[in-house]
Structure 1
Amino acid sequence: MSKQTRRKFAPEFKAKVALEAVKNQQTLSEIGLKYDLSPVVISKWKSELLENMAGVFEKDSKKNEESSPDVEELYAQIGKLKVENEFLKKSCKKLGI
């Protein structure tokens, strides 16, 4: 007996189906038949879309803060690379390279 694996859907597909559900031009059952999905799943995706819709209009500054790397960590890495560079320069001078 083979085990059935869960299907995984791309975020673009989920958004497309949820948007159709939000439009209310078809029932959830009709959309489910169209995409071979359960109306419960479509309803869940629709509610997630409606909950997170405001995030689209948030200012970019919040997104930039979250995605920007830690400045202190970068300075630490620069310092480490500087020390390594100086060490290699001194080693080359001793070897006459």
Structure 2
Amino acid sequence: MKNNKKYTPEFKTKVVLEVLEGKRLVKEIVNEYEINYSSLKSWKKEVVNNMPNLLGRTTEVDIQLKETQKLNKNLEKQLEKTKLEMDFLKRKRFLIKLLQKSGRV
């Protein structure tokens, strides 16, 4: 007799994670959730085979993080340049005041 139950991806993930944790026997998990052993074996194989893709995948968050880091680096460079310009202008202003006091300007 064929089992026509449909399981959600969340349910499959939960069960496969329990198997991978190895805290209980597969037989116990199969009996608890009333699932077929071959189905569980298939789900586990799918998860294990797709792990490299999941772990190496670049997500939208990763892309945004890289863009934000690049922007931050550019802003830090701009800030450093602005600080140098301000320091130069302060020194120039100080020198002009000294020259004015001494009557040379």
Q: What secondary structure does 1:55 align onto?
A: helix
CA contact (8 A) 1:28 1:43 kept: no
Regions of 4+ moved over 6 Å: none
Structure 2: gaps spanning 5 or more residues = 61-105
Structure 1: gaps spanning 5 or more residues = 62-97
**Structure 1 or 2: more helix by fraction:** 2
The structure whose Rg is larger is 2
Using the TM superposition, give the Cα deviation of residue 53 of structure 1 relative to its aligned residue in structure 2, in angstroms. Answer: 1.4
The alignment covers a number of residue pairs equal to 59
CA distance in 1, matches of 2:10, 2:51: 14
Change beyond 3 A, Cα 1:9–1:54: same
Q: Which residue of 1 aligns with 2:53?
A: 55
CA distance in 2, matches of 1:34, 1:12: 17
Q: Which residue of 1 aligns with 2:14?
A: 16
Using the TM superposition, give the Cα deviation of residue 55 of structure 1 relative to its aligned residue in structure 2, in angstroms. Answer: 2.1
Q: Which residue of 2 aligns with 1:34?
A: 32
After TM superposition, the score normalised by the length of structure 2 is 0.49
Q: Which residue of 2 aligns with 1:76?
A: none
Amino-acid identity (%): 29
Higher RCO (CA 8 Å, separation ≥ 6 residues)? 1
Using the TM superposition, give the Cα deviation of residue 43 of structure 1 relative to its aligned residue in structure 2, in angstroms. Answer: 1.3
Q: CA RMSD in A?
A: 2.1
